[in-house]
């Protein structure tokens, strides 16, 4: 018996069939997103055709010359499946890309800080911490708490106190900062404490990821007004944990490398090293995380519209098409076509991210 | 080792506390008046005030948080009144003057919709989810290891490519699409041959025969839930098996002239399964949370089903309770997995 030696590089990558197909499909999706309005579609995605509900695809029975034709059938309100699939690309990308942008920006920032600074790099003097805490409470009290009562009596215009509140708040804080600097110079309490910023951020991530993300999004989306902007914010603010974790791990590796040390030796500022040297060198894993996350967000979008939570009802979406099969089980075309569109988009994004992993690894060049 | 366990548990309880605070403020910030939901639209002021007082809604937010935490803690101090006795169902430990130190099951408040205790609702629905997760994991592990083994032994042949491509599709297919396709294909189009229902529950109450166990209803949801773990286990087993098969001791075993199946099963598979088993143990918790859509689509009575139903009816206490419960399971399983890792690998407990 011959034992073959292990090669973990899949043969599909060498032939480059999978990434090619993925890029082709993604460019098709991109074309649909950009030129959806210019395509000669016979129906708009929201147009109802109540005489032809649950029409199977390529149904020629009541086809009259000159009348528009439902290529891929219709759903329970006679909406055209083809138009919905093409415009659905737009909804999927409109949600997932901005949400991923928010998530990766947050993840980059927090993960970068956690990984680069670690537990001991940021040190604050106790004087600063105490005076800042004290002035924060004072500023909140005089800026927000007190005016709420005093202005209620004197019926001042509601817009004016808003600026005033922030002005008072910020000015008290700045005074506190100046005072704490002065106190520190007078060596009142020259003790320093290190802020465990890595621990803090990691505990935050662990907390967020132990609540099932889907419940978090469902609750927030179910109770706020259904709109794309709300959903983008909600998903962006809940999806940052994975990019953050990845970037932290990558930075922990990069930070020990020689060139970072030499940059330190040159006397460059920490933040400059982080932005200019450390982050660009861990970019490959970030790009992979972003493509992978986008695939996840696209399936999240259709899941939410499948459950009819969070997204406006008149937005064309793949998930909404799939949902309408629950009233008529013999309408297979309502699952097949949107399902194929959804699965192939997610698959191609994952294939692209696998290809990127392969390409960005210098050993494979 | 003991120090490591204690430290891990302390961190875990901190995370739980954080989750509790986050969940509490999250549900406070959501729009909607709990009193109106409890009492309905047409109630007089005194009833509303009584309900608000009962839930502590007339107090400030931090006080409410403390009250909620007091409700949740298994040991607490209360005034010994019949109302408190009925509300918390406690057993007295010691008397402290007017108050009593009591032990109780955590009181997660009552459902707005049914007025049942939330912990009862969770326990009632937990059974279905546990069964589903267990059967799905069993199926995924068994079949996944088999598939991974086949793919590794027949590397770079048709079977290998087919299994790897299938597992890639299995990982990436969104769970609701997979669920709806499986339920319609096997429960509707092929129902005459499979004899399965599209939706169903573990216990079906029949008007004539009473409460009956319907084990066949678990097949489709468990299969659907198992697809993703199955795909991941297939890939894990394949790569780790390939890794092991290329090592020296396997070549030695071949050179000794051992039987092929003895080498594969006794020598290679035993070592290749280590990463698979650790991965499986970590997933059981996430499977329980991942069962949401599967439970909704197959109408399977479980934790996810009841949570989504409560989200739709805006039943805050049930959603809060279920969220906290799932988070608790997550944290506890994470701690157990960490301790297991540390027990097997001394480097981990020394580095932390």
Q: Which residue has better confidence, B347 or A201?
A: A201
Q: Are residues A166 and A225 in the same domain?
A: no
Residue of A119, A209, A215 for testing the chain B interface, max B β-carbons within 10 Å? A215
Whether residue A356 lies inside any domain: the answer is yes
Chain A residues near residue B31 by CB distance under 8 angstroms: 223-224
Question: Would you place residue A358 in the very low, low, confident or very high pLDDT band (cuts 50, 70, 90)?
Answer: confident
Of A1, A6, A299, Cβ closest to residue B243: A6
Residue of A15, A17, A88, A211 for testing the chain B interface, max B β-carbons within 10 Å? A211
Q: Which of A122-126, B80-84, B185-189 has the highest average model confidence (pLDDT)?
A: B185-189
Of A1, A10, A207, Cβ closest to residue B164: A10
Chain B residues near residue A326 by CB distance under 8 angstroms: 180
- Which of these three, A194, A219, A237, is where a domain ends? A194
Cβ within 8 Å, pair A5-B246: yes
The crossing angle, in degrees rounded to 10, of helices A159-185 and A126-140 is 160
The Cα-based distances of B276 to B142, B234, B240, B279 in angstroms read: 11, 9, 8, 5
Whether residue A61 lies inside any domain: the answer is no
Q: Which domain holds residue A342?
A: 22-51+83-120+197-365
Cβ within 8 Å, pair B172-A350: yes
Chain A residues near residue B250 by CB distance under 8 angstroms: 3
pTM: 0.79
Please state whether beta strands A123-125 and A192-194 pair in parallel, antiparallel, or not at all (unpaired): antiparallel
Chain A residues near residue B30 by CB distance under 8 angstroms: 219-220, 223-224
Q: How many domains does chain A have?
A: 2
Residue B151 is predicted with a pLDDT of: 92
Per residue in B173-231, pLDDT (tens digit) is: 888 888 888 988 888 888 888 878 777 777 777 778 777 777 888 889 999 999 988 99
Residue B139 is predicted with a pLDDT of: 93
Q: Residue B130 pLDDT more than 70?
A: yes
Q: Residue A355 pLDDT more than 50?
A: yes
- Tell me the mean pLDDT in the region B19-25: 85
Chain B residues near residue A306 by CB distance under 8 angstroms: 176
Residue of B174, B247, B285, B338 for testing the chain A interface, max A β-carbons within 10 Å? B174
**How many residue contacts between A and B have a Cβ separation below 8 Å?**
131
Question: Would you place residue B140 in the very low, low, confident or very high pLDDT band (cuts 50, 70, 90)?
Answer: very high
Of A11, A214, A332, Cβ closest to residue B156: A11
Cβ within 8 Å, pair A212-B323: yes
Whether residue A175 lies inside any domain: the answer is yes
Q: Please list the alpha-helical segments (H only) found in B189-302.
A: 191-194, 219-245, 248-255, 260-262, 270-290, 292-297
Q: Residue B242 pLDDT more than 70?
A: yes
Residue of A223, A233, A291, A305 for testing the chain B interface, max B β-carbons within 10 Å? A223
Q: Please list the alpha-helical segments (H only) found in B73-117.
A: 82-88
Q: Are residues A170 and A184 in the same domain?
A: yes
Residue A9 is predicted with a pLDDT of: 46
Residue positions counted in chain A: 365
Q: Are residues A209 and A317 in the same domain?
A: yes
Q: Are residues A274 and A130 in the same domain?
A: no
Cβ within 8 Å, pair A350-B308: no
Q: Which residue has better confidence, A345 or A219?
A: A345
Q: How far is A264 from chain B (nearest CA, A)?
A: 26
- Tell me the mean pLDDT in the region A19-42: 88
- Tell me the mean pLDDT in the region A142-170: 64
Q: Are residues A236 and A137 in the same domain?
A: no
Question: Would you place residue A73 in the very low, low, confident or very high pLDDT band (cuts 50, 70, 90)?
Answer: confident
Q: Are residues A94 and A128 in the same domain?
A: no
Task: CATH number of the domain at A340, please.
Answer: 1.10.3720.10
Q: Are residues A114 and A156 in the same domain?
A: no
Q: Are residues A179 and A298 in the same domain?
A: no
- Tell me the mean pLDDT in the region A218-245: 84
- Tell me the mean pLDDT in the region A345-360: 86
A310 CB neighbour count, 10 Å cutoff = 26
Residues 6 or more apart from A249 whose CB is under 8 A from it? A115
Nearest C-alpha neighbor of B311 from the set A220, A208, A236: A220
Q: Are residues A274 and A214 in the same domain?
A: yes
Residue A99 is predicted with a pLDDT of: 94
Residue A151 is predicted with a pLDDT of: 52
Of A210, A220, A342, Cβ closest to residue B19: A210
Cβ within 8 Å, pair A211-B169: no
Whether residue A67 lies inside any domain: the answer is no
For chain B, the structural domain boundaries read 118-313
Q: Are residues A173 and A320 in the same domain?
A: no
Q: How far apart are CA A108 and CA A248, in angstroms?
A: 9
Residue A66 is predicted with a pLDDT of: 60
Per residue in B274-286, pLDDT (tens digit) is: 778 777 776 766 7
Please state whether beta strands A192-194 and B91-96 pair in parallel, antiparallel, or not at all (unpaired): unpaired
Cβ within 8 Å, pair B254-A3: yes
Quick one: closest CA in B to A339, which residue? B177
Question: What CATH superfamily is the domain B118-313?
Answer: MetI-like (1.10.3720.10)
Q: Residue A364 pLDDT more than 80?
A: no
Cβ within 8 Å, pair A339-B181: yes
- Which of these three, A151, A172, A194, is where a domain ends? A194
Residue A2 is predicted with a pLDDT of: 41
Chain B residues near residue A3 by CB distance under 8 angstroms: 245-246, 250-251, 254
Whether residue A63 lies inside any domain: the answer is no
Q: How far is B301 from chain A (nearest CA, A)?
A: 17
In chain B, the percentage of residues whose pLDDT exceeds 90 is 10
Q: Residue A161 pLDDT more than 80?
A: no
Residue B142 is predicted with a pLDDT of: 92
Of A8, A209, A303, Cβ closest to residue B174: A303
Cβ within 8 Å, pair A302-B176: yes
- Tell me the mean pLDDT in the region B309-336: 85
Residue A1 is predicted with a pLDDT of: 39
- Tell me the mean pLDDT in the region B281-301: 77
Question: Would you place residue A353 in the very low, low, confident or very high pLDDT band (cuts 50, 70, 90)?
Answer: confident
Whether residue A75 lies inside any domain: the answer is no
User: Partners of A124 in the beta sheet?
Assistant: A193
Backbone angles phi, psi at B273, to 5 degrees: -80, -10
The Cα-based distances of A155 to A145, A232, B334 in angstroms read: 16, 38, 55
Q: Which of A101-110, A219-228, B281-290, B325-334 has the highest average model confidence (pLDDT)?
A: A101-110
Q: Are residues A111 and A259 in the same domain?
A: yes
Whether residue A74 lies inside any domain: the answer is no
Cβ within 8 Å, pair A207-B26: no
Residue of A6, A214, A241 for testing the chain B interface, max B β-carbons within 10 Å? A6
- Which of these three, A164, A194, A224, is where a domain ends? A194
Q: Residue B102 pLDDT more than 50?
A: yes
Question: SS3 for A212?
Answer: coil
Q: Residue A217 pLDDT more than 50?
A: yes
Residues 6 or more apart from B144 whose CB is under 8 A from it? B229, B230, B231, B232, B233, B234, B236, B237, B276
Q: Residue A24 pLDDT more than 90?
A: yes
Question: Would you place residue B345 in the very low, low, confident or very high pLDDT band (cuts 50, 70, 90)?
Answer: low
Chain B residues near residue A342 by CB distance under 8 angstroms: 174, 177
Q: Are residues A326 and A202 in the same domain?
A: yes
Residue A7 is predicted with a pLDDT of: 44
Whether residue A71 lies inside any domain: the answer is no
Per residue in A40-66, pLDDT (tens digit) is: 777 888 888 787 788 788 776 555 556
Cβ within 8 Å, pair B174-A346: yes
H or E element that contains B100: strand B99-103
Residue A6 is predicted with a pLDDT of: 40
- Tell me the mean pLDDT in the region A122-150: 73
- Tell me the mean pLDDT in the region B49-77: 80
Of A206, A218, A329, Cβ closest to residue B311: A218
Residue A101 is predicted with a pLDDT of: 93
Average pLDDT, chain A: 80
Q: How far is B245 from chain A (nearest CA, A)?
A: 7
Question: Would you place residue A146 in the very low, low, confident or very high pLDDT band (cuts 50, 70, 90)?
Answer: low
Please tell me the least confidently modeled range out of A42-56, A70-84, B38-52, B92-106.
B38-52
């Amino acid at each position: 018996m011959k034992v073959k030696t292990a090669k973990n590089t899949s043969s599909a990558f060498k032939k480059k069939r999978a990434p090619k197909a993925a890029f082709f499909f993604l460019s098709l999706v991109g074309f649909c997103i950009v030129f959806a309005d210019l395509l000669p579609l016979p129906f708009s995605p929201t147009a109802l055709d109540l005489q032809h509900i649950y029409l199977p695809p390529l149904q020629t029975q009541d086809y009259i010359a000159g009348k528009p034709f439902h290529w891929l059938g219709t759903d329970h309100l006679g909406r055209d499946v083809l138009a919905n699939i093409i415009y659905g690309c737009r909804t999927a990308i409109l949600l997932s890309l901005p949400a991923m942008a928010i998530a990766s920006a947050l993840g980059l920032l927090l993960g970068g800080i956690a990984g680069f600074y670690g537990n001991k790099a940021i040190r604050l003097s106790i004087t600063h911490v105490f005076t800042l805490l004290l002035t924060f409470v004072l500023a909140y009290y005089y800026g927000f708490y007190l005016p709420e009562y005093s202005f209620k009596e004197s019926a001042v215009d509601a817009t004016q106190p808003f600026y005033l509140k922030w002005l008072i708040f910020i000015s008290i804080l700045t005074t506190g900062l100046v005072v704490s600097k002065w106190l520190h110079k007078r060596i009142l309490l020259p003790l320093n404490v290190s802020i465990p910023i890595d621990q803090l951020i990691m505990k935050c991530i662990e907390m967020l990821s132990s609540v099932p993300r889907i419940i978090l999004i469902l609750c927030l989306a179910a109770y706020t007004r259904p709109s794309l902007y709300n959903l983008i914010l909600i998903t962006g603010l809940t999806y940052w944990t994975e990019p953050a974790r990845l970037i932290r791990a990558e930075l922990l590796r990069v930070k020990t490398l020689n060139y970072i040390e030499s940059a330190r030796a040159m006397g460059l500022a920490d933040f400059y090293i982080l932005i200019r040297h450390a982050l660009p060198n861990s970019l490959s894993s970030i790009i992979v995380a972003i493509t992978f996350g986008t695939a996840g967000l696209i399936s999240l979008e259709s899941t939410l519209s499948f459950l009819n939570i969070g997204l406006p009802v008149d937005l064309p979406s793949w998930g909404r098409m799939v949902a309408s099969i629950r009233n008529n089980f013999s309408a297979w075309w309502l699952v097949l076509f949107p399902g194929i569109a959804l699965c192939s988009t997610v698959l191609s994004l994952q294939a692209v991210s696998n290809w990127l992993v392969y390409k960005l690894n210098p050993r494979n060049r | 080792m003991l120090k490591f366990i204690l430290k891990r548990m302390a961190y875990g309880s901190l995370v739980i506390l954080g989750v509790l605070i986050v969940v509490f403020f999250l549900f406070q910030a959501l729009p909607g008046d709990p009193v109106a939901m409890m009492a309905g639209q047409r109630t007089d002021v005194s009833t509303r005030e009584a309900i608000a007082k009962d839930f502590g809604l007339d107090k400030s937010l931090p006080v409410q948080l403390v009250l909620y935490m007091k409700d949740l803690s298994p040991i607490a101090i209360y005034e010994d009144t019949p109302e408190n006795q009925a509300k918390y169902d406690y057993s007295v430990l010691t008397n402290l003057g007017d108050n009593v130190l009591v032990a109780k099951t955590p009181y997660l408040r009552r459902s707005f919709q049914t007025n049942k205790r939330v912990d009862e609702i969770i326990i009632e629905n937990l059974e279905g989810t546990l069964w589903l997760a267990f059967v799905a994991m069993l199926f995924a592990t068994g079949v996944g290891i088999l598939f991974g083994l086949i793919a590794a032994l027949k590397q770079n042949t048709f079977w290998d490519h087919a299994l790897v491509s299938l597992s890639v599709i299995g990982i990436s297919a969104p769970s609701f699409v997979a669920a709806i396709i499986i339920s319609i294909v096997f429960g509707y189009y092929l129902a005459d041959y499979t004899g399965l229902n599209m939706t169903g529950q573990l216990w079906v109450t029949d008007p004539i025969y009473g409460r009956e166990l319907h084990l066949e209803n678990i097949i489709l949801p468990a299969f659907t839930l198992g697809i993703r773990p199955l795909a991941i286990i297939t890939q894990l087993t394949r790569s780790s098996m390939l890794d092991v098969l290329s090592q020296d001791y396997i070549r030695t075993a071949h050179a000794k002239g051992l039987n092929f199946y003895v080498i594969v099963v006794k020598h290679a598979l035993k070592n290749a399964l280590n990463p698979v088993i650790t991965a499986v143990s970590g997933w059981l918790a996430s499977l329980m949370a991942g069962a949401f859509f599967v439970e909704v689509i197959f109408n399977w009575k479980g934790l996810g089903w009841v949570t989504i139903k409560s989200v739709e009816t805006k039943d805050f206490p049930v959603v809060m309770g279920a969220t906290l419960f799932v988070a608790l399971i997550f944290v506890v399983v994470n701690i157990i997995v960490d301790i297991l890792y540390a027990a097997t690998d001394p480097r981990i407990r020394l580095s932390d």
